[in-house]
Structure 1
Amino acid sequence: MAGPTTAERGERQQESSDPPLVRRRLRLPRPRTIIILTVVLALLGAGAVWALYGSQWLRVERVSVSGTRVLTPEQVREAADVPVGVPLISVDSTAIEARLRRKLPRIDEVDVVRAWPHGIGLKVVERTPVLIVEKGGNFVEVDDEGVRFATVSERPKGIPTLELTVSRSSSAAASLRRFGEDRLVREAVRVARAIPAAVARSTEVVKVRSYDDISLELGDGRTVAWGSGEKGAAKARTLTALMKASPDARYFDVSVPTAPVSAGS
């Protein structure tokens, strides 16, 4: 009987040289295996949902507060009104932030953090007053954005008073109509932030007569004509140099920083 042909021998050699995985047929998981895996995954999912929402393990038990300076932690907790005993995952952090900003305008920023497994953390940043406005024997605090955020009975130390004294002149009245009181307050804040540190410590009043007529009254009786809030850095440098050059002067004008003026002694 004749042996295999040359072609048949080549096919057999090719088959024997193929990797075992190539020769094997792909085997699909058995139906029982698929059912078992499906049941296991469903049980794990149900268990996770129960742990987050139905169990007593991950519920709110305490509320911590950090970052307060003037406010007390108790005030923040009361305003936040975090529901104790509810599942931690269900706490609405956006609603808590909104309540805090609405009830406590002194708060500038707030971050509500879930502290697993039982806590809620409230990290707050309070507004810092840059100016104060006297009103009915109290003092309204104004922050660096011009926001009037709190009224206190005692004058904050080291914070200048804002005096908005728009004159009856046509130019001043036009300035008020054009910019509005809120814009003039923001310009005063802009000036207050630009005052050199050495001068800021003795500044008692920031007086606004119009948009481009803002002046400073210092505690020792000296006066600074600042002008508008524009070119604040240049005006600060000029004022520092002018005060060093004329230490006995009582009046300084840096409204045009390239042409400063000092007078009086």
Structure 2
Amino acid sequence: MERVSVSGTRVLTPAQVRGAAEVPLGEQLISVDTETIEARLAKTLPRIDTVDVVRSWPDGIALKVTERTPVLLVHKGGKFIEVDDEGVRFATVSRAPKGVPALELAISRTGSTAASLRRFGENRLVREAVRVAGALPASVAHATRSVKVRSYDDISLELTDGRTVDWGSSEKNAEKSRTLTALMKAEPGARHFDVGVPTAPASSGS
């Protein structure tokens, strides 16, 4: 076994993947343990979502990588934690990637939102925000500055141009996504949209 090829990387470099894979060069190709290499990569490089380790006859190994894609950013200590659509916090970066909204937890420890925090816990509320972010139409996702969570059923969006969207809970996300797209086309001058009840959407402002 003489060569290792890498495909599918976007943020990671092929050299990083090859180094983490530690493919045993010089061994017979048939004896290479592909499952061990996959497990090693998943553990060493959490940015990797999936990897296929494929024997490439007669003398190579191909590493076919799919990286995680951030749908939300958590700001912490001057850096940004990338969170994917499964709620996995997989990387900390010093510069925010473009087109990825920030998570804003506007949860009070007292008052009306405290009951939601006690019932669901902060991690569950973060996952609900992730579900919303992952369901946004691409055009809206790229134009979203932040996803704000006040409680389980009070999630809202702030767009980069100052427009806002009341989303409600993460239930019926696909329906809300379609409704928002249609509402934005029908009311291009509106500044606020409400799709909390997707069968009765509303818009206001100009």
Question: Scaled by the length of structure 2, what TM-score is found?
Answer: 0.91
> Aligned with 1:112: secondary structure?
strand
- What CA RMSD, in Å, does the superposition of the two structures yield over aligned residues? 1.8
Report what 1:178 is aligned to.
119
CA deviation after TM superposition for structure 1 residue 157, in Å: 0.7
Superposed CA deviations along residues 169-196 of structure 1, whole A, max 9, x for unmatched, are 4442232232222322221122112223
> Aligned with 1:198: secondary structure?
helix
CA contact (8 A) 2:106 2:148 kept: yes
Q: Which runs of 5+ in 2 are unaligned?
A: none
CA deviation after TM superposition for structure 1 residue 158, in Å: 0.8
CA contact (8 A) 2:166 2:193 kept: yes
Superposed CA deviations along residues 17-61 of structure 1, whole A, max 9, x for unmatched, are xxxxxxxxxxxxxxxxxxxxxxxxxxxxxxxxxxxxxxxxxxx21
Report what 1:216 is aligned to.
157
Report what 2:91 is aligned to.
150
Tell whether 2:140 aligns with 1:199: yes
Change in 2 beyond 3 A, CA 1:260/1:161: same
> Aligned with 2:50: secondary structure?
strand
Q: Distance in 2 between matches of 1:246 and 1:124?
A: 42
Q: Distance in 1 between matches of 2:55 and 2:178?
A: 47
Higher normalized strand content (fraction of residues): 2
Tell whether 2:82 aligns with 1:134: no
> Aligned with 1:155: secondary structure?
coil
Report what 1:100 is aligned to.
41
Q: Distance in 1 between matches of 2:37 and 2:104?
A: 36
Report what 1:113 is aligned to.
54
Report what 1:255 is aligned to.
196
> Aligned with 1:256: secondary structure?
coil
- Aligned-partner residue type, residue 133 of structure 1: V
CA contact (8 A) 1:110 1:122 kept: yes
- Aligned-partner residue type, residue 184 of structure 2: M
Superposed CA deviations along residues 109-147 of structure 1, whole A, max 9, x for unmatched, are 111112222212111111111111111111111111111
> Aligned with 1:76: secondary structure?
helix
Larger radius of gyration: 1
The 5-angstrom pairing of residues 1-265 of structure 1 reads: 60-265=1-206
Q: Distance in 2 between matches of 1:244 and 1:66?
A: 39
Q: Distance in 2 between matches of 1:257 and 1:213?
A: 14
Q: Distance in 2 between matches of 1:263 and 1:248?
A: 9
Superposed CA deviations along residues 200-229 of structure 1, whole A, max 9, x for unmatched, are 232111111111110000111111111001
CA contact (8 A) 2:2 2:59 kept: yes
CA contact (8 A) 2:109 2:117 kept: no
Q: Distance in 1 between matches of 2:139 and 2:8?
A: 28
> Aligned with 2:121: secondary structure?
helix
> Aligned with 1:122: secondary structure?
strand
Q: Distance in 1 between matches of 2:182 and 2:57?
A: 56
Q: Distance in 1 between matches of 2:38 and 2:161?
A: 44
CA contact (8 A) 1:146 1:182 kept: no
Q: Distance in 2 between matches of 1:150 and 1:170?
A: 34
Change in 2 beyond 3 A, CA 1:197/1:69: closer
Q: Which runs of 5+ in 1 are unaligned?
A: 1-59
Q: Report which stretch shifted further, 197-206 or 135-144.
A: 197-206
- Aligned-partner residue type, residue 191 of structure 2: R
Higher normalized helix content (fraction of residues): 1
Count of residues in correspondence between the two structures: 206
Q: Distance in 2 between matches of 1:228 and 1:89?
A: 51
> Aligned with 1:110: secondary structure?
strand
